[in-house]
């Protein structure tokens, strides 16, 4: 533990408004949480918008056995806001700057993953919520709050031209889809498939299109067709139509699979060309059966990916600034969050909820 961590404990804390769940079966409700007073390398941010990620819902309801939820739980890791205070050692931010925070708020900064700028794989990474809080004890609290204090290294700069409500989901849904596309070399001239047009998928379409690829959206129902084309798809394929699927066999450089429900991944592996890759960013609860033959005969690869490092997240935000990319959001007041969770379960949102934090301050 570093000296600053000790000294920030001594410096004390302040009260912030938030919404928390007190058990896996209780709804989110207003509460007051402690935040540490900013230390010398901390940035204090007034939260303006926070996106609702599917993992918020899973975590609040304690549905991940690998990551048991500690209550009270304040979720939220798609945070945008304005800087209200900076520590004396902070160099990249000043009062009034736009700032953003994603899924991580700390890491050891010394391991090989951190040195390679992939902090998301650091064994000592601290998640924005539901991780042990070394400063105040208890758990870290996320973005369903009016304020947060984060180490400068984990605070991102937000391009000034982006709509703030739509920019919030870039911090998880955005980087989760951008990072594997960059890793697997999605660029002009490549043929890219996107499976599942939800919060993640709709961002994938926008990125693949902006990167210059030929974009094909796979959907189970034809009624998403117009939306997919509007988001930047060049073609829409109904995955249940064997004839339509057959036309694309052996033709894809890269496929992003954003489906978290059970589905036949072999149907998509067949569509890869030589050295093609399919990356999973959704997490189906049951293991998927994979046909080895599907991969062998084209040297195909199957990968997973999760968010991205801080440097790459900044690169993604700058790319969004340049291409004016944000998520399609439905803005809601904090008070409607439980209703939004129910709708999220039915995929009844195009394509992400973004909480307007002005609502939490007014009550």
Residues that bind Zn ion (CB under 5 A): 53, 55, 107-108, 111, 113-114, 122, 172
Q: How far apart are CA 99 and CA 147, in angstroms?
A: 12
In angstroms, the first-to-last Cα distance of the chain is 38
Our CB check for Zn ion shows the closer of 122 and 164 to be: 122
Residue 107 CB, nearest approach to Zn ion (Å): 5
Our CB check for Zn ion shows the closer of 111 and 134 to be: 111
Are 30 and 17 in contact by the 8 Å Cβ rule? The answer is yes
Residue 113 CB, nearest approach to Zn ion (Å): 5
Q: How far apart are CA 16 and CA 14, in angstroms?
A: 7
Q: How far apart are CA 356 and CA 363, in angstroms?
A: 13
Residues whose CB falls within 8 Å of the CB of residue 350, separated by 6 or more in sequence, listed in order: 202, 227, 328, 330
SS3 19: strand
Q: How far is CA 348 from CA 302, 330, 340, in A?
A: 30, 11, 9
Are 192 and 354 in contact by the 8 Å Cβ rule? The answer is no
Our CB check for Zn ion shows the closer of 114 and 162 to be: 114
Angle (CA) 33-44-179 rounded to 5° is 100
Our CB check for Zn ion shows the closer of 67 and 267 to be: 67
Our CB check for Zn ion shows the closer of 53 and 215 to be: 53
Our CB check for Zn ion shows the closer of 235 and 330 to be: 330
Residue 233 CB, nearest approach to Zn ion (Å): 23
Residue 68 CB, nearest approach to Zn ion (Å): 18
Residue 100 CB, nearest approach to Zn ion (Å): 13
Our CB check for Zn ion shows the closer of 107 and 177 to be: 107
Residue 279 CB, nearest approach to Zn ion (Å): 16
Residue 309 CB, nearest approach to Zn ion (Å): 10
Q: How far apart are CA 27 and CA 22, in angstroms?
A: 8
Residue 161 is given by DSSP the state T
Q: How far apart are CA 57 and CA 24, in angstroms?
A: 10
């Amino acid at each position: 533990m570093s000296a600053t961590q000790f000294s920030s404990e001594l410096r004390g804390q302040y009260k912030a408004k938030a919404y928390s769940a007190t058990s896996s079966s209780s709804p989110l409700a207003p509460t007051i949480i402690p935040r540490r007073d900013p230390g010398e390398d901390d940035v204090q941010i007034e939260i303006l918008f926070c996106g609702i990620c599917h993992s918020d819902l899973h975590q609040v309801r304690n549905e991940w056995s690998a990551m048991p939820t500690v209550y009270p739980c304040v979720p939220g890791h798609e945070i945008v806001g304005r800087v209200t205070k900076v520590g004396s050692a902070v160099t990249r931010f000043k009062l009034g700057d736009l700032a953003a925070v994603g899924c991580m708020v700390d890491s050891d900064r010394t391991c090989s993953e951190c040195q390679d700028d992939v902090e998301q794989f650091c064994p000592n990474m601290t998640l924005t919520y539901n991780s042990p809080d070394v400063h105040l004890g208890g758990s870290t609290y996320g973005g369903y709050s009016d304020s947060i204090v984060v180490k400068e290294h984990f605070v991102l700069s937000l391009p000034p031209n982006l709509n703030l409500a739509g920019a919030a989901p870039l911090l998880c849904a955005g980087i989760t889809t951008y990072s594997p596309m960059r890793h697997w070399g999605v660029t002009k001239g490549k043929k890219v498939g996107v499976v599942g047009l939800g919060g993640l998928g709709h961002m994938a379409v926008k990125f693949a299109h902006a990167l210059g690829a030929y974009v094909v959206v796979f959907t189970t129902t034809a009624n998403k067709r117009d939306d997919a084309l509007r988001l930047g798809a060049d073609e829409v394929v109904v995955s249940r139509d064997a004839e339509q699927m057959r036309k694309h066999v052996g033709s894809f450089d890269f496929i992003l699979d954003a489906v978290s429900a059970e589905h036949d991944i072999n149907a998509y592996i067949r569509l890869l060309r030589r050295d093609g890759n399919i990356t999973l960013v959704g997490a189906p609860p049951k293991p998927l059966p994979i046909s080895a033959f599907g991969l062998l005969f084209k040297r195909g690869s199957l990968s997973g990916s999760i968010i991205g490092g801080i440097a790459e997240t900044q690169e993604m935000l700058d790319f969004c600034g340049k291409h004016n990319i944000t998520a399609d959001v439905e803005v809601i007041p904090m008070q409607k969050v439980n209703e939004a969770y129910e709708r999220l379960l039915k995929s009844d949102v195009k394509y992400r909820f973004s909480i307007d934090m002005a609502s939490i301050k007014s009550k």
